[in-house]
Chains A and B, each alone.
Chain A
Amino acid sequence: MDFKLTPEQEAFRKEVADFLKAEMTPGKFIEEAAQSPEQKAVLDDFLKKLAARRWLAISWPEEYNGGGRGLVDHAIFNEQMGYYHAPSEALVPVTIIGPAIKNFGTEQQKRDHLTRIASGEGVYWQVWTEPDSGSDLASLKTSAVRDGDDYVINGQKVFVGDGRPPDYFYLAARTDPNVSKHRGISIFLVDRHTPGINISFLEPVAGWMKNEVFFDDVRIPASSLMGELNNGWSHMRDTLSNERSGIHACSELRRVFDDTVELCHEMKRDGKLLIENEHVQNRLADLRIELDAWTALCWRVVHMQSTGLPVVAEASIVAVQRKDFLPRFQAALYDILGSYAILKRKSMYTLTEGDIEMWMRESIHTHGGGTPEIQRNVVAVRGLGLPR
């Protein structure tokens, strides 16, 4: 048993790292500017560069402009993207929506969208969550009613998308209100420019912009349906079958940790370098050990997925690890770096271009992809076989 990569994989890791080191210049992707046309241009350019290397859709077939690589390479790519804090939100189309189209989209949808997504063209939002349907997603109420050759959509979605104007929505809506909640949901791929759609911004505490989307008698062609009618819930679950080790989020924090250790070699408390402060040393050691354990838990999922072993609770264990760690990580950074930790990017004495401060805020972002409680439910019920 070992975690060692092959020489080819090591070389690939270095290739990605070298590329990202050059690309991710300080201040290039600024969260405050996530809404601006300038930021969109910078991001589009970055995605095009990834696509040109066939890294954007790294594990897709080459016929769709994918990289044709295996899941280990995919994980290596995600790991490096995380470590260099590349804008991961922009990868939603390739990590979630594209694989779904590939798995259960129509031939026409595959032809229309896969190559575009893999080439970094078009902005796709996953619009599932509703004001009254968060953790209980299957209770969603946005309706899609068949009318001749069309479906008519009505409802409201929330906390979706990012700061770039979207082109398509990957929508979950109720197509049969008369059956149990899991049975009457269907998936649609909706052109954002269809009349009756309104979008308004919701600014989150950290990271990119989120949005509310309102559907008011939005008439879409029946060919927008993805997959089987009323079988949306199982499609939504299958959507998670892509690379799902969670290594990206883990290496994001490893970078913050590495930066913090470096800062501890320069900053002083009571006249003494932080790195010589025993309390600081112990806190750093505990963080380092937990990051090592977390990293290994991620690679376990990579190993299982890449060798065809069924991943049951292992991916949710990684999610619990992240969600439990994040607030403790914030508290430890604040303890170690003190008043400097809360200085934003434009403060005179900000640390790491405001990155440390951003993580102070990002630490309350433990809900995305399922709350800690939902993830623990998965571990308990699917992993341990405990009763619901």
Chain B
Amino acid sequence: MNLSLNEAQEMLRSSAREFLSETSSPLVVRDVEATGRGYSRDLWQSMAGLGWLGLGLPESAGGMAGDMTDIALFAEELGRVVAPAPWISTVVWAGSLLANDSSDTAQELVQRIIRGEITVAVANREADLGYGPDTITLKAEQDGDSFRLSGEKRFVMDGAEADYFITVGRVGSGTGEEGITLFVVESGAEGLRVIPQPTTDGDTQAVVQYDNVRPVAVLGEVGQGWALLEEPTRKATIALTAWMLGGAETAADMSVAYAKMRVQFGRAIGSFQAISHKLADVRWRLDAIRMLVVKAVSTFDDADNDADVSAAKAYGNQWIGWVMHRCHEVFAGAGFMKIHDLQLYFRRLLVAASWLGDEQYHRRNVVNRRIRNAA
């Protein structure tokens, strides 16, 4: 048992923190939200310059070696500043999907991601609220040696500004995982409409409509799409939970600092147990989330890691929402105003909770993997 970071991991964390303190801030987030551009190009290019867009991607494609711990550490640092950058969707999720495919097209896209030339979104969800294979109805029809895609994708994470979409479609009329196939689609493809959607956070998500769209490539084998998604999605889900934890840690730090400084009734409000016990509970719940993330990271290569990942995300969604409300109670009116940074964290973390599986989805996954088959 060892729960300490090693020297290289400590170094990764401190250099990431230093880098982000210079390149990202609430001002950068506000600027992105004001301009409606989805993410900060400057930040993205700085990340490319220092190699962060290759973290965890193969060195053969220009990436830098990095395991699940490194990815989670960097994601947490991004979350601490709620960095407006599609790093989890492009590098961790789409990047891993593409890196797992040995075709020239996929490998070239990985190289371009690492160089900061493109962002890539995964378009998997549709009208159905769920996240499982049964929700996939987007039709993929054979057309010569390629396919034509027709249908609609919703809730596409970082889709508004993406250059490519890894699109989860279905070949044939099967159910479940049957026929599910991954297609790479260019954002400028004929018949494709990308419609940015206003949301609670920085309006980065999109509805993507496909009208007889020809993909540039198929990833892996036809009909194997759902299986191909499994590992990269797990990886991205851990990263996202770490990102959310990082954001909530900053919100908690802000709240503790404020409770020490804000005076009412002649005393710092942090001396009232109604406040200090609230913040003690915040500390407890964040530590519990951290432990579940560490567990999910440490069992990443195990066969039943999926259940650990779901435990972390279900609990993270539930309790980060709770933590943010407690932080807002500490700040009261001040935090409710848009000039205050706390609300940036509240809004961005609220939206993140629905990416890559909401509380209900992940709880059901724990039910299926840890409860029903337990005895």
**What is A's interface to B at a CB cutoff of 8 Å?**
1-5, 9, 72, 258, 261-262, 264-265, 275, 281-282, 284-286, 288-290, 292-294, 296-297, 299-300, 302-304, 307, 313-314, 317, 320-321, 324, 373, 376-377, 379-381, 383-388
Contact = CB atoms under 8 A, between A and B. Distances in A.
A317 B279 contact: no
Specify which of A261, A294, A304 lies most central, judged by the most chain B CB atoms within 10 Å of its CB. A261
B279 A296 contact: no
Contacts of A288: 311, 366, 370-371
B303 interface: no
B287 interface: yes
Contacts of A284: 367, 371
Given A1-B294, A284-B371, A379 B283 contact: yes
A18 B284 CA distance: 34
Specify which of B273, B279, B297, B374 lies most central, judged by the most chain A CB atoms within 10 Å of its CB. B374
A245 B1 CA distance: 14
Interface of B: 1-5, 69, 256, 259-260, 267-268, 270-271, 273, 275-277, 279-281, 283-284, 287-289, 291-292, 294-295, 297-299, 308, 311, 314-315, 363-364, 366-367, 370-372, 374-375
A6 to B, nearest CB: 8
Contacts of B273: 373, 376-377, 380
Given A292-B311, A380-B277, A321 B260 contact: no
A377 B371 contact: no
Contacts of B375: 261-262, 264-265, 275
Given A1-B5, A284-B367, A285-B371, 7 more contacts: A3-B298, A285-B364, A289-B363, A292-B295, A385-B256, A386-B256, A386-B268
A378 to B, nearest CB: 8
Contacts of B292: 289, 292-293, 296
Nearest to A6: B1
A284 B1 CA distance: 27
A302 B2 CA distance: 10
A124 to B, nearest CB: 32
* Chain B contact residues: helix, strand, loop or mixed: helix
A387 B308 CA distance: 37
A183 B151 CA distance: 76
Nearest to A264: B375
B363 A317 contact: no
Nearest to B259: A386
Contacts of B283: 313, 317, 379, 383-384
Specify which of A2, A304, A384 lies most central, judged by the most chain B CB atoms within 10 Å of its CB. A384
Specify which of B2, B275, B284, B295 lies most central, judged by the most chain A CB atoms within 10 Å of its CB. B284
Nearest to A302: B1
A294 B291 CA distance: 9
A281 B367 contact: yes
A69 to B, nearest CB: 15
22 contacts: A1-B5, A3-B294, A258-B374, A262-B375, A282-B364, A285-B370, A288-B366, A292-B292, A293-B291, A299-B3, A300-B287, A313-B283, A314-B287, A321-B284, A324-B284, A380-B280, A384-B279, A384-B283, A386-B259, A386-B268, A386-B276, A387-B271
A92 B325 CA distance: 41
Contacts of B315: 289-290, 293
Nearest to A288: B370
A286 B360 CA distance: 11
Nearest to A309: B4
A72 B1 contact: yes
A281 B69 contact: no
A143 B297 CA distance: 54
A384 B295 CA distance: 25
A285 B363 contact: yes
B371 A261 contact: yes
A289 B3 contact: no
B288 A282 contact: no
Given A1-B298, A275-B372, A300 B291 contact: yes
Contacts of A282: 363-364, 367
Contact of A320 (B268, B284, B371): B284
A380 B259 CA distance: 11
B244 to A, nearest CB: 15
A26 to B, nearest CB: 19
Contacts of A5: 1
Contact of B295 (A3, A264, A281, A302): A3
Contacts of A2: 1-3, 298-299
B370 A294 contact: no
A25 to B, nearest CB: 22
A380 B279 contact: yes
A21 B366 CA distance: 28
Contact of B291 (A297, A324, A373, A380): A297
Given A289-B315, A293-B292, A381 B276 contact: yes
A1 B297 contact: yes
A386 B271 CA distance: 7
